[in-house]
Amino acid sequence: MAEVLLRDRFERLGVDATVSSAGTVSEGRPASGGAVEAMRERGLDLSGHRSRLLTPELVQSADLVVGMAREHVREATVACPGRFGRIFTLKELVRLGEGCGARRSESIERWLDRVGMGRKPASLLGPDSHDDVADPIGQPLAVYQAAAAEIDDLVDRLADLLWAHAAAPADGAGREPGARVASELGEPEPRPSAARPAVEPRPEPEARAAPIGNGAAPTLRVAVGSDHAGFALKAHLIEVLTKLGHEVLDVGTHGPEPVDYPGFCAGVGRAVTYGAADRGIVVGGSGQGEQLAANTVPGVRAALCNDLFTARFSRAHNDANVLSMGARVVGEGLAEEIVATWLATTFDGGRHQRRVDQLTALEAAAGDRKAQDALIESLLHGRPAD
């Protein structure tokens, strides 16, 4: 939705800006029906939209990358860390821009430097979502309409900040050379690319790097488990996993009645370590207890991932084999993104393999206090980490 709203706004302003969008989950998917209808009501056509995958090249070549949520800013920053200063959520950029004043004679790059003064990548690690636009996926049309109204307002305000000095010519002549505005951050499919506009004056490269997340996940056997708090989200994820072609082993619980989580989560861990499943997913209220329960099974490396950044690096750096999520923390759309990212990301190996081997050795020594103490001392006084 942001893509077509931005394009329409810039065309009306007379700004020569090119707008495109990209995501992190799949290629070639249409926008959701709710998004198409919400745009149709505004006289805009989203029916021909098809998703495409975000690449580091797209982020690198963009003058400005804008996401609907902080999650999307993290994704683009992971793809291209050196471009953090050009990556914002739409709401954050408008808020900061209105605080420091509209661009006048300065370049977009100089204005962004001024707007983003003091921002640090470390700020992306927290759960703060006050600069997010609410995710409408899976909701009634009224929710899409509300999201469209919010995005439309933010787009108008952003356009005023960037091109307040640009008068729209009546005949289309004398259009101001603008920049390319490309929406470039991940959303779950079939969610529309309402997330992510970015500005690029350069043409997109013909060749594409592998998408972040190391591409589409192969078909896997996935064990899933939850308590009552995670039951509904687990049921939804089972449908999603099945549609993606994965084989699902549902350990339980099998209903919304209150239950204790440890057995179900340990059962998922056992399925993974016994070879009945390639990966495991456990879901609870926050996901914390579920992670702890799964990690009681030797050989399990369960990671609590309620955001995409953690999901990606739990696989790339820690070779996590069980994913834990909190149904009261993430919605269905974000949960789908997290699962897709986690399943698609491969282990980097290298120095990370050495660290995983150390974890395995510590776990193996857990039954022998003396041996474990000796191993800990050895690791404490070993060579410096790289």
Is the domain of 23 the same as that of 159?
Answer: yes
Within-domain flag for 75? yes
SS3 136: coil
What is the distance between the alpha carbons of residues 14 and 172, in angstroms, rounded to a whole number?
Answer: 7
Query: What pLDDT does 172 receive?
Result: 40
Within-domain flag for 385? no
Is the domain of 157 the same as that of 248?
Answer: no
Query: What pLDDT does 162 receive?
Result: 86
SS3 87: strand
Query: What pLDDT does 205 receive?
Result: 28
Give the number of domains in the chain.
Answer: 3
Last residue of a domain, one of 150, 167, 199: 199
What is the distance between the alpha carbons of residues 84 and 73, in angstroms, rounded to a whole number?
Answer: 8
Is the domain of 44 the same as that of 128?
Answer: yes
Is the domain of 172 the same as that of 253?
Answer: no
Phi/psi at 112 (5° precision)? -65, -35
pLDDT band at 125 (very low <50, low <70, confident <90, very high): low
Last residue of a domain, one of 146, 169, 199: 199
Strands of the chain (E only): list them: 15-22, 64-67, 87-89, 176-184, 198-199, 221-226, 247-252, 279-284, 302-304, 322-326
What is the distance between the alpha carbons of residues 23 and 55, in angstroms, rounded to a whole number?
Answer: 9
Q: What would the pLDDT profile of 334-380 be if each residue is shown by its tens digit?
A: 899 899 889 988 898 888 898 999 998 888 888 888 888 888 888 88
Is the domain of 340 the same as that of 368?
Answer: no
Q: What is the mean pLDDT of residues 266-278?
A: 93
Q: Is a pLDDT exceeding 60 seen at residue 295?
A: yes
Read off the CATH number of the domain in which 256 is found.
Answer: 3.40.1400.10
Span of 40-44, 232-236, 314-318, 372-376 with lowest mean pLDDT: 372-376
Nearest alpha-carbon partner for 356 in 315, 306, 325: 315
Read off the CATH number of the domain in which 11 is found.
Answer: 3.40.50.2300
Q: Is a pLDDT exceeding 80 seen at residue 191?
A: no
Residue with tokens 């683009």: 76
Within-domain flag for 175? yes
Within-domain flag for 209? no
What is the distance between the alpha carbons of residues 106 and 64, in angstroms, rounded to a whole number?
Answer: 15
Within-domain flag for 213? no
Is the domain of 179 the same as that of 320?
Answer: no
Q: What is the mean pLDDT of residues 275-302?
A: 95
Q: Kindly compute the dihedral angle of the four CA atoms of residues 3, 52, 333, 128, in this order, to the nearest 10 degrees.
A: -60
Query: What pLDDT does 175 receive?
Result: 37
The residue ranking higher by pLDDT, 190 or 273, is 273
> What count of Cα atoms within 13 Å lies in the side-chain half-sphere of residue 317?
7
% of the chain exceeding 70 in pLDDT = 82
Query: What pLDDT does 44 receive?
Result: 92
Tokens found for residue 5: 């709203």
Is the domain of 289 the same as that of 376?
Answer: no
| Catalytic option among 49, 72, 246, 317 | 317
Q: What would the pLDDT profile of 130-188 be if each residue is shown by its tens digit?
A: 788 887 877 888 888 988 999 999 998 998 898 865 443 333 433 344 444 444 343 33
% of the chain exceeding 90 in pLDDT = 35
Q: Is 357 exposed, middle or buried (0-12, 13-18, 19+ CB in 10 A)?
A: exposed
Is 183 in contact with 20 (CB distance < 8 Å)?
yes
Is the domain of 239 the same as that of 186?
Answer: no
* Residue 286 per-residue DSSP state: S
Whether residue 253 is preceded by a cis peptide bond, meaning omega within 30 degrees of 0, is yes
Query: What pLDDT does 135 receive?
Result: 79
Is the domain of 33 the same as that of 136?
Answer: yes
Query: What pLDDT does 128 receive?
Result: 62
Within-domain flag for 270? yes
What is the distance between the alpha carbons of residues 81 and 121, in angstroms, rounded to a whole number?
Answer: 9
Q: What would the pLDDT profile of 56-101 be if each residue is shown by its tens digit?
A: 888 888 888 998 888 788 888 888 888 888 999 999 999 999 888 8
What is the distance between the alpha carbons of residues 16 and 10, in angstroms, rounded to a whole number?
Answer: 7
Query: What pLDDT does 198 receive?
Result: 39
Q: What would the pLDDT profile of 6-34 be if each residue is shown by its tens digit?
A: 888 888 888 887 788 887 666 778 888 88
Query: What pLDDT does 41 receive?
Result: 92
Within-domain flag for 204? no
pLDDT band at 209 (very low <50, low <70, confident <90, very high): very low
Active site residue 381: no
Query: What pLDDT does 253 receive?
Result: 94
Q: What would the pLDDT profile of 69-81 be if each residue is shown by its tens digit?
A: 887 888 888 888 8
Within-domain flag for 309? yes
Is the domain of 286 the same as that of 308?
Answer: yes
Is the domain of 359 the same as that of 277?
Answer: no
Q: Is a pLDDT exceeding 70 seen at residue 293?
A: yes
The domain in which residue 177 lies consists of 2-199
Q: Which residues pair with 22 in a beta bridge?
A: 184
Q: Which residues pair with 88 in a beta bridge?
A: 66
Is the domain of 279 the same as that of 368?
Answer: no
Work out whether strand 87-89 and strand 64-67 pair parallel, antiparallel, or are unpaired: parallel
The residue ranking higher by pLDDT, 295 or 169, is 295
